[in-house]
Amino acid sequence: MAKPGIIIVKAGREKSLERRHPWLFSGAIDEQRSNLEGVEPGGIVEVRGIDGGFLGRGYYNPHSQIRVRILSWDQTEALGPGWWRIRIARAIASRGALVKRPDLDAYRLVHAESDGLPGLIVDRYGDYLVIQALTLGVEVVKQHIVEALVDLMQPRGIFERSDVDARHKEGLSDAVGLLYGEEPPTPLVITEQGVHYPVDVHTGHKTGFYLDQRDARAWLLAHPEVQGAEVLNCFSYTGSFTACAALNGAASITAVDSSQPALDMTAQTMQLNGLSDYPVELICADVFKQLREFRDEEREFDLIILDPPKFAQSAKHLDRATFGYKDINMMALDRLRPGGTLLTFSCSGLVGPDLFQKVVFGASIDAGVEAQIVGWFSQPADHPVLLAFPEGHYLKGLAIRVLGQG
């Protein structure tokens, strides 16, 4: 048996760790040879191969299928509080280009595994930070993380939004509340690409705002297709796409979302940008049903946006998810005038870009339209993807132009 705190990986199961993938699953552990004596859940363990060779060191959770998340591949590196500070500083430094932009004060500072900080999300919203501790290993060092963030960023307040399903898989309950400084106001107003948005960090989705859709907002702010267009914004949330399209001269916008509180915030989004008098039609409805209603009314649009929530939560939902994506894309393509544009997204990591493109193609066949891809979207640079961790890539989108009836 190994020394206390050492996990031995079964023969052949060390390959992914050798390729620096940071997850060690329960089934890959040789329980007989490992020694977890005295290791607290969330504590640090060393992972070794069957030959005793060092593979990595990380935090351990006996309640999670992902037993260990590797923090360091360097045997000489100590993993105390100072380690977290150094890694967080590295992640912040890599956002240098964003930090310097005067037109923007909201972005992701730490993107978990892809920043070498498994289980930790940190978003900046103006003077405040919002964090998510997705794992037990992060939960036990949360106070050190807060201290490091205060030191590195001098925020006015740090708020925690650890109310995510991922925590339940780690044996943790939700944790929401102020961790440091002043309570963030509701709404907190952020600026991105010169546009102002109200954000409710207490109850909004994710940490309050879809920071990952910055490139789509840039497209809407800049592209001539938007000017004079009748726009349908499906899954509109608090109206970030609505404001961008309005600022770029859309003739009218219809926004559909199933959440009345999200739709209610659209008025604030418009007001903050001098768009109080802009004609937005807000419809609280299920997009699947509403698109059929538009078909029955023979209502058509020049630009349709589909930015649904994650349909594929796990591999067993993949079939149903692709069916859902195909359905809304088919219905949307059917509602576009010839020459019109569809902006369509998927944030399901399990639906890769190739599959997504195939689904949209299938939708075009069913809608009986000929269409071409005129733009590609992904998550922006503050949501990086570590090459060793392709799971970090989740957001993909296409700009599709409808040529006519196929």
Hey, which residues are catalytic here?
Answer: 347
Strand partners, 7: 47
Sketch the per residue contact string, 249 through 268, with ligand SAH: x for CB under 6 A, - otherwise. -------xxxx--x------
Sketch the per residue contact string, 15 through 54, with ligand SAH: x for CB under 6 A, - otherwise. ----------------------------------------
Which amino acid is residue 173, in one-letter code? S
Q: Looking at beta carbons only, is 34 or 266 nearer to ligand SAH?
A: 266
At 247 the three-state DSSP class reads helix
User: Which position among 235, 325, 356, 389 is part of the footprint of ligand SAH (CB under 6 A)?
Assistant: 235
User: Which position among 237, 356, 389, 394 is part of the footprint of ligand SAH (CB under 6 A)?
Assistant: 237
Map tokens 């690409």 to a residue. 193
Closest separation in Å from C-beta 278 to ligand SAH: 16
Closest separation in Å from C-beta 276 to ligand SAH: 19
User: Which position among 60, 107, 210, 325 is part of the footprint of ligand SAH (CB under 6 A)?
Assistant: 210
Q: Looking at beta carbons only, is 34 or 248 nearer to ligand SAH?
A: 248
Q: Looking at beta carbons only, is 73 or 278 nearer to ligand SAH?
A: 278
Does residue number 240 form part of the binding site for ligand SAH (CB under 6 A)?
yes
**On the CB side of 394, how many CA atoms lie within 13 Å of its CA?**
16
Any alpha helices (H) in 102-197, and if so which ranges?
Answer: 136-139, 142-153, 165-169
Q: Looking at beta carbons only, is 24 or 253 nearer to ligand SAH?
A: 253
Does residue number 287 form part of the binding site for ligand SAH (CB under 6 A)?
yes
341: nearest Cα among 254, 252, 223, 257: 223
Does residue number 219 form part of the binding site for ligand SAH (CB under 6 A)?
no
Q: Looking at beta carbons only, is 240 or 379 nearer to ligand SAH?
A: 240
| Phi, psi angle pair for 167, to nearest 5° | -65, -35
Question: Peptide bond preceding 353: is omega within 30 degrees of 0, i.e. cis?
Answer: no
Does residue number 213 form part of the binding site for ligand SAH (CB under 6 A)?
yes
Sketch the per residue contact string, 336 through 375, with ligand SAH: x for CB under 6 A, - otherwise. ----------------------------------------
Q: What gap in Å lies between CA 199 and CA 372, rounded to an integer?
A: 35
* C-alpha pair distances (Å), 218 with each of 48, 228, 376, 398, 401: 46, 17, 13, 14, 18
Applying CB under 6 A, the span of 107-115, 157-165, 232-240, 332-340 interacting with ligand SAH comes to: 232-240
Q: What is the DSSP string of 309-372?
A: --S-SSGGGHHHHHHHHHHHHHHHHHTEEEEEEEEEEE--TTS-HHHHHHHHHHHHHHHTEEEE
Question: Checking phi first, is residue 114 left (phi over 0); if not, alpha (psi -120 to 50) or beta?
Answer: alpha
Question: Under the rule (CB under 6 A), what is the footprint of ligand SAH?
Answer: 210, 213, 235-238, 240-241, 256-259, 262, 286-288, 307-309
